[in-house]
Amino acid sequence: MSASIQPPPPKLGITLETYIMEGMIGSPGATGHFTSLLNQVCLAARMITAHVRAAGLADVLGYTGQTNVQGEAVQKLDELANNTLRSVLSRRGHCAAIVSEEDDEMTPISDDPRAKYVVVVDPLDGSSNIDCNVAIGTIFGILKKRGEGGLPATKDDVLRPGRDLLCAGYLLYSAQTMLVLTFGRGVHGFTYDPGVGEFFLSHENIRCPEKGSVYSINGGNSTRWSAGVRKWAAWIKEEDKATSRPYSSRYVGSLVADAHRTLLKGGIFAYPADTKSPKGKLRLLYEANPMAYIFEAAGGAATDGTSRILDLQPTETHERTPLVLGSREDVETFARFLREG
């Protein structure tokens, strides 16, 4: 399916596979390569779900003893998810390369002439929550290579603003496993039925409310925040019925979980720059960009506090950015506090 043409609005209960196929059928000139790639991503999602659900029993909890390019201790599930994605995406020859949080550099996958796409991925998001059974996830985006299929992917294919994404989605491994997916307009949620081994549409056309009443930020960093963020954090806690303050505070510590709640209920998630992480903590290519693409497609907003995330021009594969996600009005209020300092 050439994702430039939007699939028809799905119908509740439709399977993910049918939704993707209908999208391809509805796209004149579709070659099926994008559809095939997306089906592979969803197969990897089902395999990772199985690993996550059995993690406590299958000795895949805990650490590998290595550290990744981020300098973070690698968990067995990080590595397992990464290897699953790489082996599945290597099977059909539509994926030219993968940019993964767990790999130092972009990993070439296929030089098949049909390999016209690059996948950016955080294979396992929320690693610090794995061994205490708190919600974790997988975040991905799909870009079309600039050059023709068959030519090796280069940094030029991936160091691009997030607005160039064809598709973005995330898996949330929580009480249920959900896949949230968008091609730029319309965001749909599919819930996994482990008895059937299939995702079914459960949340049609998710819209992020214009304004919410929940804020999500790691308050443990408050002494490191700028004056503007500290003033915003104090303001959001004040008593004021007219602006439904104080907001409730919710913070899981897995971006996928905090973002998913914010997408459905509205409000704001913020991981601002601070004195410890002057460029923010979250990675632009495979955390901020896919999430920003999803939030904007759902009518929400995503900035680095001042600029639109999807307009940021990456210069390095693993570069970090401050990230403010959520309801348009709440994200704008946050930006105002940053402007006023």
CB of 303 to ligand AHG, least distance (A): 16
- For residue 282, what is the enclosing H or E element? strand 282-283
d(Cα 26, Cα 265) in Å, to the nearest integer?
31
**Among 76, 281, 318, 320, contact with ligand AHG (rule: CB under 6 A):** 281
Q: Which is nearer to ligand AHG, 190 or 271 (CB)?
A: 271
Q: Which is nearer to Mn ion, 122 or 157 (CB)?
A: 122
**Among 122, 274, 304, 330, contact with Mn ion (rule: CB under 5 A):** 122
Closest Cα to residue 199, out of 15, 41, 12?
Answer: 15
Integer Rg of the chain from CA: 19
Q: Which is nearer to Mn ion, 181 or 284 (CB)?
A: 284
CB of 271 to ligand AHG, least distance (A): 6
- Joined together, the tokens standing for residue 248 give 């409730």
Q: Which is nearer to Mn ion, 127 or 327 (CB)?
A: 127
Task: Kindly state whether residue 125 participates in binding Mn ion, applying the rule CB under 5 A.
Answer: yes
**Within 238-267, which residues bind ligand AHG (CB under 6 A)?**
253-255
**Within 91-150, which residues bind ligand AHG (CB under 6 A)?**
101, 122, 125-128
DSSP code per residue over 41-107: HHHHHHHHHHHHHHTTTTT--SEEEEE-TTSPEEEHHHHHHHHHHHHHHTSSS-EEEEEETTSSS-E
Exposure string over 263-287, b if 16+ CB within 10 A, otherwise e:
bbbbbbbbbbbbeeeeebbbbbbbb
**Within 97-116, which residues bind Mn ion (CB under 5 A)?**
101
Task: Kindly state whether residue 321 participates in binding ligand AHG, applying the rule CB under 6 A.
Answer: no
CB of 253 to ligand AHG, least distance (A): 5
**Within 43-82, which residues bind ligand AHG (CB under 6 A)?**
72
CA atoms in the 13 A half-sphere facing the CB of 259: 33
Q: Which residues pair with 192 in a beta bridge?
A: 199
The listed partner (ligand AHG, Mn ion, none) that binds 253, CB under 5 to 8 Å by sort, is: ligand AHG
Phi and psi, residue 179, nearest 5° = -115, 125
Question: Measuring CA to CA, how many Å separate 196 from each of 46, 58, 173, 193, 303?
Answer: 11, 22, 17, 5, 39
Q: CA torsion 263→268→269→270, rounded to 10°?
A: 150
> Whose CB is nearest to Mn ion?
125
Task: Kindly state whether residue 309 participates in binding ligand AHG, applying the rule CB under 6 A.
Answer: no
**Among 174, 218, 249, 333, contact with ligand AHG (rule: CB under 6 A):** 218
Q: Kindly list the residues in this chain that would bind Mn ion in the complex (CB under 5 A).
A: 101, 122, 124-125
- Which residues of the chain form contacts with ligand AHG (CB under 6 A)? 72, 101, 122, 125-128, 218, 253-255, 271, 281
